[in-house]
Structure 1
Amino acid sequence: MPSMAMPAPDGGRPRPSASDYRVALVLPRSGPAGIFGLECLAAAELAAAEIDAAGGVAGRSVRYVHVDAGGDPDVVAGHIGALLAADEIDAITGWHLSNLRQSIARVVQGRAPYVYAAAYEGGESSDGVLCSGEVPGDQILASLSWLRTELGLRRWYLVGNDYVWPRETAARTLEGLRGLDIGVLRCRFVPLGTESPTVWGSVLDEIVHTGAEGVITLLVGSDAVRFNRAFAEADLADSIVRFSPFIDETVVLATGAQATKNLFVSAGWFSSLGTASAVEFARKFRGAWDLVCGAEPLGTSVAPSPGTMAETTYSGMHLLAGIAGRSIPTVHDARRAFSSWAWDSPHGTVELRAGEARHPVHLAVADGVDLDVVARVSTGSR
């Protein structure tokens, strides 16, 4: 499915000045992850507005240098490197895929703080890089244990896109399941941007052939939408459960109510959490969405519910701005935060220990195009 259109970079704003805190905001405008671009942009703008209202980053106003994360990872990373070499950015953040994170980390090489604001496979230790998203143990293993206890699901089939996050996440999941009475019968990886009905049909045939009771989907954006629709069209939703740690409200809405039966999702954030901080974030997000995208008719909000990807983008920017206290964040500050740090997010306190962010994680089930939280499966504490 086509990705959402995004506003032109900087919207014609003047070139950032010395009084600005210049952040490369790396968000997808194209490719399978492009579906998340607008929600992440609105969330990033909300975070910037809040930071500026509180005095800025050491008195400097946040100014984004927009970078499309949807291209070839090495090309995008090369652009980040050129911005650093020209002294046009002070830091990097944003929601994007792990293959791009690895390329950016290799190019940056500790020259600027870099907050990677997405759930990921774990293990990142590059100099100056902070990964603020959920990791498989909290997000996947805890959810599979809940589904085993509550629904009796033991036999799983895993399908993911063919790049580092799904493959490494699958490997960590298999390792974590050793010794348990939960097993993955087969893993299948398909290229990013797979549109072929034949490929999806062969995946569905394998699922049926293995006798799996559930399917773990490690698919990105529009690929997850295509799979979910094909799954429902094959009449598998009544007999086989789906579970994903990488679907949010945006993907569920794009999938459609007719294709979300027995779909479970785990994440730190859901718009249905109902806590005071969650309600407040959702309210402010709607205002930011309308400013970024415009409301029509005048005075009427057309904003969707903020998804997980939006909330992680927002939290990642706040993490970046906060690691130095009243000073401009440096790589030294990122190194210190890597060892031990904590920050408040709309879904609760997140702790960063030895480079691993520990989130309270919830499990939700789709109800049409909504995601209803059914359990808290991990506190995020060790």
Structure 2
Amino acid sequence: MPEGAQGRERPRPVPPARVPSPREAYRVALVVPRRGPAGMFGPSCRAAAHLAAEEVDAAGGVAGRPVHLVEVDAGAPPAEVARTVSALVDRGEVDAVAGWHLSSVRQAVAPAVAGRVPYVYATAYEGGEVGDGVVCTGELPGEQVVSALRFLRREFGWRRWLVVGDDYVWPRATARDTARVLAADGIVLQEPAWVPLGCSDDAVWDRVVTDVGRHAARRPAPDGVLMLLVGSDGVRFNRVFHAAGLDDRLVRFSPFMDETMLLGGGPGTARGLFASAGWFAGLASASALEFSAGFARQYERLVGVDGLAVPSPGTMAESTYLGLRLLAEVGRRTVPGPRDVDAARSSWAWDTPHGTVRLDAGRAHHRVHLAVATGAEFEVLADVTTGPRA
């Protein structure tokens, strides 16, 4: 045994890439994070994508072609991700781009592939993307944030929210646009604190939480914190927030929170934490249970669990799955190109584990649920869907 190797964890074998047997495959650049603040979602997104590919192949593939996933790390700097994806398109190595990743990555990738191959952006986002051949399948703030905060005011009287968010396009645009809409309801978003994306400086998080505590001591006091934080940033905030005892005084709400983040936070950090999304693993419909079972099978095959329980599929995983299923739906009869995706963006509907999702004039309409954290799981409290219903 080499010196210093004793006690090291043996690396897990990496399963071989999923290579279809026919020569002609439908090749999709799967853009999901494997590092950075959103890297914690990577294993679940990969498992969900491979489940979608398996199901599409079992149903006849994309226009008869089996799906082959070409994985790209969306946790790299956005410009680097765009160069990688663009090079794959230039070399004719992929027929489409899809996946779950941050808006900063989408803003770099979309112009690099616009009009060349279809691009399915499968993430809740701030809205406004109109790139040629780009379709966004995630929840929009009006359905996901506005409807949830209106529900929380109506049911509990909470109307004053401090904003803590990562400093990039999605949190800033979401806070700005929702504040304008919610003002008519007497709901106030105040004192925004912006944190560098992927911040690992404990002093920064201590300072943010100290500021939150100072605002909580004022009158009128805020009712809660609107968290617009990604992955490990949300986990860090929850830990420091709990350690400061602020969960005795303020609730938290996030439109960007899943079971993976609850597990990462550890015991006690989820007290008084609410979230909204189209999907939660606690949904009990037949389609939700079927998806969860398939996800568990793929996760164990791809990631391995070493005797531990497979994690619940979070909203990031389910979003990845439904994005790939849309691509296959559009390609039932012919290999989809950018024009086909543009047509689907104008008007389309397809079934997902959380119900039918409809595209209308570039906007994806979901059935949105509000949930409260209970330990490492979410308990769905209500359907807060607004607008066109599934």
TM-score when normalising by structure 1: 0.94
Please show how residues 49-128 of structure 1 align to structure 2 within 5 Å: 49-128=54-133
Equivalent AA in structure 2 for residue 61 of structure 1: P
Once the two structures are superposed, residues 149-185 of structure 1 have per-residue CA deviations (whole angstroms, 9 ceiling, x without a partner) of: 1111111101111111111111111111122211012
Change (3 A) 1:338 1:198: same
Identical counterparts, % of pairs: 52
* Alignment CA distance shift 1:31-1:16 (3 Å): farther
- Return the offset for 1:202: 1.6
1:321 Cα offset (Å): 1.1
Matched residue, 2:231: 221
- Which residue of 159, 162, 170 corresponds with 2:167? 162
Corresponding residue of 1:151: 156
Q: How far off its partner does 1:257 sit?
A: 2.7
Unaligned runs of at least 5 residues, structure 2: 1-10, 216-220
Check whether the contact 1:282–1:306 (CA below 8 A) recurs between aligned residues: yes
d(CA) in 2 for partners of 1:198, 1:12: 42
CA positional deviation for 1:209: 2.6
Does the alignment pair 1:42 with 2:79?
no
Q: TM-score, normalised by structure 2?
A: 0.92
1:268-287 pair list within 5 angstroms? 268-287=278-297
Q: Quote the residue 2:206 is aligned against.
A: 201
- Map of 2:5 onto structure 1: none
1: CA distance, partners of 2:365 / 2:301: 32
Residue 374 of structure 1, aligned match among 377, 381, 387:
381
- The residue type equivalent to 2:276 in the other structure is S
Q: Is the 8 A contact 2:20 2:67 kept in 1?
A: no
Residues 59-106 of structure 1: CA deviation (Å, up to 9, x unaligned): 111001110000110111011111111000000000000010010011
The letter for the 2-side match of 1:291 is R
Inter-CA distance 13–248: structure 2 relative to 1 (3 Å threshold): closer
Could you say if the C-alpha distance between residues 94 and 12 of structure 1 is closer, same or farther in structure 2, counting changes exceeding 3 Å? Answer: closer
Contact residue 16 and residue 22 of structure 1 kept, 8 A: no
| Secondary structure in 2 matching 1:363 | strand
- Please state how far the C-alpha of 1:272 moved relative to its aligned partner: 0.5
Instruction: Tell me, in whole angstroms, the C-alpha distance in 2 between the residues paired with 1:117 and 1:95.
Output: 5
Is 1:321–2:331 an aligned residue pair? no
- Please tell me the residue identity of whatever aligns with 2:102: L
In structure 2, the partner of 1:21 is 26
Would you say 1:340 and 2:350 are equivalent positions? no
Q: Distance in 2 between matches of 1:22 and 1:324?
A: 13
> Structure 2 counterpart of 1:369, which letter?
A
On the 8 A contact 1:359/1:380 being kept in 2, the answer is: no
Deviation sequence 1:170-215 (CA, Å, 0-9, x none): 1111111122211012111111111222211221122223332110
SS of alignment partner, residue 132 of structure 2: coil
Once residues 262 and 166 of structure 1 are traced to their aligned partners in structure 2, the CA distance between those partners, rounded to angstroms, is 21
Secondary structure of the corresponding residue to residue 119 of structure 1: coil
Shift in Å, 1:326: 1.3
SS state at 1:65 partner = strand
Contact 2:175–2:189 (Cα < 8 Å) also in 1: no
Hey, what's the Cα distance between the residues in 1 that align with 2:275 and 2:203? Answer: 26
Residue identity opposite 1:233 in structure 2: A
CA contact (8 A) 1:51 1:321 kept: yes
RMSD of Structure 2 on Structure 1 (CA): 1.8
Residue segments in structure 1 that go unaligned for 5+ positions in a row: none
What whole-Å deviation, never above 9, does each CA across 1:266-322 have from its counterpart, x for those lacking one?
A: 00000101111111111111111111123545xxx7311111101000000000111
Aligned AA for 2:113?
Answer: V
SS in 2 for 1:36: helix
Name the residue aligned to 1:331: 338
* TM superposition shift of 1:109: 2.1
Contact kept, 8 Å, 1:6 with 1:37, in 2: the verdict is: no
Q: Given the superposition, is the C-alpha separation of residues 12 and 154 from structure 1 closer, same or farther in structure 2, using an over 3 Å criterion?
A: closer
Contact between 1:154 and 1:181, CA under 8 Å: does it hold in 2?
yes
Contact 2:19 2:68 in 1 (8 A): no
Aligned-partner SS, 1:29: coil
Q: Are the equivalent residues in 1 in contact too, given 2:372–2:380 (CA < 8 A)?
A: yes
- Separation in 1, partners of 2:273, 2:13: 32
- Give distance in 2, aligned partners of 1:145 and 1:91: 38
Q: Residues 17 and 67 of structure 1: is their aligned pair in 2 closer, same or farther, counting only changes over 3 Å?
A: farther
CA distance in 1 between partners of 2:59 and 2:286 (Å): 20
Give the C-alpha shift of residue 244 in structure 1.
0.1
Report how many residues are paired: 374
Residue 199 to residue 342, structure 1, CA distance change in 2 (3 Å): same
For 1:283, the aligned partner's letter is A
